Amino acid sequence: MTHDAATPPNDRELAAAVRHFGRARVLIVGDVILDRYRIGDAHRLSPEAPIPVLRPTRSHDTPGGAANVAMNVVSLGGQAILAGVIGDDDAGAAVARLVSEKGRIETALIVAPGRPTSAKTRYIAGAQQLLRVDEETTAALDAVTANALLTRVERALPETDVVILSDYAKGVLCDAVLTRLLAMLAAHGKPVIADPKRPDFSAYRGVTVLTPNELEVRAATHIDARFDAEADRAGRAALDATGGDAVLVTRSARGLTLVCRGEPARHFPTRAREVADVSGAGDTLVAALAVALAAGASLPEAAMLANVTAGISVGKPGTATVAQTELLNELHSGGLASTDRKVRALADAKHQVEAWHAQGLRVGLANGCFDLIHPGHVYLLARARAGCDRLIVALNTDASVRRLKGPTRPVQNEDARAIVMASLSPVDMVVLFDEETPLELIRALRPDVLIKGADYTIDQVVGGDLVQGWGGQVLLVDLREGHSTSGTIRRMTAPDKA
């Protein structure tokens, strides 16, 4: 996608970029934190002091800081490498375990004996946070640990598309590490996104994109960024300090301001529908920005996607991640597709198919453009569903349809086609694919039944040999004559002979 400031991409075009997130490989370097939540009821005050008495009913731990960034990268469909430092303690072991359980995160964690893992414990009654206890050190890394961390980072760089510096001022990105790290990244020519905590932005000189929030940019530039014009000025002052390509100022309820060198500022209004908790929203935003850039999006497009993703994140309680399928559903126009969970991204679809297979269910797959739904389509899908327990429809994206059928097609865009398809009772899942054939999708989902119209022979069905090879079946369904999208279009465009 390429757009100028006057014609920004619409949500449908942004959704097309999201489907390429799987190609992104992001290295995250920074402060690893364990977020602990102790949740319960508080119905009385303590007789010892005017404070609530909390009766815990449940608890959970989740990776925070740089580890939360990595979790969000993976939830969005990308691959992550997490480089940081943990202590030889229970909190460090918990972070390492939680990250490894997520999958698709390669860990490059250095264990520093005697250095505590940063841990934040929140005590919550209902929706109210009563207390937060931080157990941590902010001391700079010792030379041995710093050298070990930088060695692991350099080893990971050849496989990396974009690097995130997740600075929580806990001592990992200390002066000695940050200076050497930025020089190393510059030597390798890697794009770098820095989420800053220092009040002196010149410490991040050389980063590609800086992502301060409103408070951070005010502390560093002494410019209040509440209004668009001031946010523009603050961003340009920050840009002068870093010498980079861009500064993305996050402004809470006022959205984002993107300042790129030599270009007018772009202001993006917030996409949050309601705010439950802002914890970790900055991690989600920087993860989405990095994944989008690594997947080939332009910086303005990546900023727009990051804005949408952060809006989803703040609607969730606690430190939360955003799934690729949630982002796609949000971009699918706010209509039926935003609430209908049948429309899935590939990564989410794979998990669902695995769950169906674990239940012993027989999964079928049919594919096509399905431009203007007609009775022939309905008959085909009903017969297809009768041949399996769960039916997936693989739907060609708009770009794929144009390559197959020419520049005047499709008549309906992929969002509209997905909404209509998901509303049909025989269909259990809809997955869009951008290639001309669904071969890669078939390899990924491994259906038990592959369904096509009987105008094909079994040897002509793309992926038929694969499905039969793992013990599946190719089902050919007789077509109802007199129904076709092309015929409908011809009748609609034929000159009136009356």
Q: Which residues pair with 112 in a beta bridge?
A: 87
Q: Is 472 exposed, middle or buried (0-12, 13-18, 19+ CB in 10 A)?
A: buried
Helix (H) or strand (E) holding 63: strand 55-65
Give every CB contact of residue 282 below 8 A, 6+ residues apart in sequence: 195, 211, 213, 250, 310
HEC string for 146-207 = HHHHHHHHHHHHHHCCEEEEECCCCCCCCHHHHHHHHHHHHHHCCCEEEECCCCCHHHHCCC
Helix (H) or strand (E) holding 259: strand 256-260
424: which 2 tokens? 């049909």
Give every CB contact of residue 66 below 8 A, 6+ residues apart in sequence: 28, 29, 30, 31, 32, 33, 82, 83, 84, 164, 166, 168, 172
Active site residue 283: yes
Give the distance between the most distant pair of CA atoms in the chain: 93
248: which 2 tokens? 């993305």
Q: Is 195 exposed, middle or buried (0-12, 13-18, 19+ CB in 10 A)?
A: buried
Radius of gyration of the chain (CA): 26
Helix (H) or strand (E) holding 65: strand 55-65
Evaluate whether 207 touches 182 at the Cβ level (below 8 Å): yes
d(CA 340, CA 230) in angstroms, rounded, equals 41
300: which 2 tokens? 């303005």
| Selection from 344, 377, 337, 324 nearest residue 445 by Cα | 344
Tell me the DSSP string of 354-400. HHHHHTTPPEEEEEE---S--HHHHHHHHHHHHTSSEEEEEEE-HHH
Exactly one of 61, 195, 277, 283 is catalytic; name it: 283
Interstrand relation of 363-368 and 390-396 (parallel, antiparallel or unpaired): parallel
Question: Prior bond to 52 cis, omega within 30?
Answer: no
Q: What are phi and psi of 206, to 5 degrees?
A: 110, -10
Q: CA distances (Å), 419 to each of 94, 125, 344, 458, in order? A: 41, 40, 12, 30
Report the catalytic residues. 283
